[in-house]
Amino acid sequence: MSQRRRTLLKRGLAAAVVAGGAGWYVRDDLDSRFWLDPPAFDPSGIETVTDTSVPTPPRQVPVSPAPLVEPFERRVESLLGGVPEPVPSDTLPNGAFRTRIAERRTAARTALDRAREADTTVETRDALVAAREQACEAATVWASVNSRTPVTTVVPDRERVRTAVEAAEAALLGPAPSPLVGARVYAALAAPVETNDRVPDADRTDAHSPFEAAETARGLEQTAAHATAARLLATRYAETVSGEPTGSVLAGTVEALGDAVVDRYRTLHRAATGGTPTPRSGGSNWSLLDSPDTDTYVDADVPTEAPSRQLLRDRTWPLFDRFRGPVSAPFAWAYADSDYPALVVRQTHWLLSWHAALDSLRTRIREGLRLYPADATQVRNRRQAAVDAVTRLIDDGNPLEQWVARRLCDAFEQPDDRLAGVTADTVGDDAERDGETVSRRGVAESYATYDWIVTVADATERATATVTEAVRRARASTDENQ
């Protein structure tokens, strides 16, 4: 490389660094200015903003957890029964092992208590599964460090676990009064199985220590327990309802929804960049899952740190989360061959609702939306609108919309906690203390979250129409093939 070219290159790099630095500086300055001197806010009446109760959504799984209770408790007691209680220090001098065993045993018993006190089937199931996991870990640590308890008597057999998962998958294709009801109920049962259905190979469990062995065993126990819970509850549900098996219709629905999801991502990229990403090799659409720069979404005279634009950023990135896929994996298109079609349909509906809500938010920002409330009354009204919107979803009776309502009910928690206990005198710009003070920025972000709840609830209808049409096409296709 010539000396002159090196010099030019250096100058170019320096200019880029300066430009980049200046860019950050200018933007940071703009953001700071916005929150250093935000628009006026009248906090009168902020004490009563959260007075209206958040509605209670219907239960996800409309059957009793009774089929799980006895076998799961028996399993827990069987695992713990093989472990001395307490483990004497002269039998097992190593305190780390004794402590781990004692902690896991206590956690198992606590989880059993939690299961007995739980209000819903899902809560009972989760507590019973946790009890089995903890008991298995305690039993495996003990089996790993003493010569008389074969580890194989406590660690679940891999083949047996695989069989349990397969049995669950079959049961989760069962009957329901309608495909959408089936999607909601079986999805709730399938979700933890889908997350935990990977059974590690034997060489992965060639542990380096009793603790590693126990953690692996715990994972296997968790997989087995969730699969068994899904099968038992799905079987009980199938006994209580009349209707056709939902598996093939929902699988067809997943197939029919794939194009709609691809189309949503194309739309989102076009909104962000004016085009769509170049397809990767083989012409796949996976490049659509590469996140665009959300700050280019809107060309509006709205500060980048205005609550509305912050909301847009916050709600866009989960669609491109590398760890668990968009908002709601598994979803149609990417998980077209999933073993859990009910779950894919439910999650795709959620994903489409989210996309539609982002469309709406983007449009409103272009029209100048800042989402900065002028007073506490405006916050109260927006929260009330959110409560009304969620109530409407519940009352309308669409099974998937009811599940969206459940998710939206959870979304009240953070802003409500932030505003609870705050008075007009404790709204300011000091550091926030939960239940005591809130900053004006905190008020604005809570307001934005209530607005998002309304936006998603309103957008859900569009997603429901798409899914309903996909079900219709799947049914027609099934009828043709029969």
Partner 1 sequence: MPSRRRLLGAVSASLACVAGCATSDTDTTPGGETITDPTVVRLRNPGGERALVTPRDQTGDGQLIQTRAAADGLSVPPGVSTSDERALDSLLADTAFDRETLFVIEEYPMSCRDYHVQSLYWSPGWIELEYCRRLRPPDVSCVADQRDTVAIVVRVPGEVSRDPIVRTGGNSECPDREYAVIDETPTDGTNATSATATQNATSATAETDTSGGDA
- Residues near partner 1, by CB under 8 A: 68, 71-72, 74-75, 78-79, 81-82, 84, 89-100, 132, 144-149, 153, 156, 160-161, 163-164, 206, 208-212, 224-225, 227-228, 232
Q: How far is the CB of 1 from partner 1 (least distance, A)?
A: 31
Q: What is the largest CA-CA distance in the chain?
A: 83
Report the candidate in 179, 256, 249, 177 with the shortest Cα–Cα distance to residue 466. 256
* 96, two tokens: 């780390």
Q: Is the Cβ of residue 91 or residue 363 nearer to partner 1 in the bound state?
A: 91
Q: How far is the CB of 221 from partner 1 (least distance, A)?
A: 8
Q: How far is the CB of 187 from partner 1 (least distance, A)?
A: 22
Q: Is the Cβ of residue 56 or residue 91 nearer to partner 1 in the bound state?
A: 91
Q: Is the Cβ of residue 67 or residue 174 nearer to partner 1 in the bound state?
A: 67
Q: How far is the CB of 110 from partner 1 (least distance, A)?
A: 18
Q: How far is the CB of 148 from partner 1 (least distance, A)?
A: 5
Q: Is the Cβ of residue 135 or residue 376 nearer to partner 1 in the bound state?
A: 135
Q: How far is the CB of 19 from partner 1 (least distance, A)?
A: 39
Q: Is the Cβ of residue 148 or residue 322 nearer to partner 1 in the bound state?
A: 148
Q: Is the Cβ of residue 216 or residue 402 nearer to partner 1 in the bound state?
A: 216
Residues ≥6 apart with Cβ < 8 Å to 267: 355, 359
Read off φ and ψ for residue 42, nearest 5 degrees.
-100, 110
Instruction: State the Cα–Cα distance between residues 94 and 115, nearest whole angstrom.
Output: 32
Q: Is the Cβ of residue 82 or residue 277 nearer to partner 1 in the bound state?
A: 82
443, 419 contact by CB (below 8 A): yes
Residue keyed to tokens 């994972």: 219
How many Cα atoms within 13 Å fall on the side-chain side of residue 311? 31
Q: How far is the CB of 134 from partner 1 (least distance, A)?
A: 13
In 3-state terms, what secondary structure has residue 437?
strand
453, 411 contact by CB (below 8 A): yes
How many Cα atoms within 13 Å fall on the side-chain side of residue 213? 19
Q: Extract long-range pairs of 436-445: CB within 8 Å, 24+ residues apart.
A: 440/38, 440/41, 441/35, 441/38, 442/418, 443/41, 443/43, 443/46, 443/373, 443/376, 443/379, 443/419, 444/38, 444/307, 444/371, 444/372, 444/373, 445/307, 445/310, 445/415, 445/418
Residue 438, amino acid: V
Q: How far is the CB of 156 from partner 1 (least distance, A)?
A: 7
Q: Is the Cβ of residue 82 or residue 318 nearer to partner 1 in the bound state?
A: 82
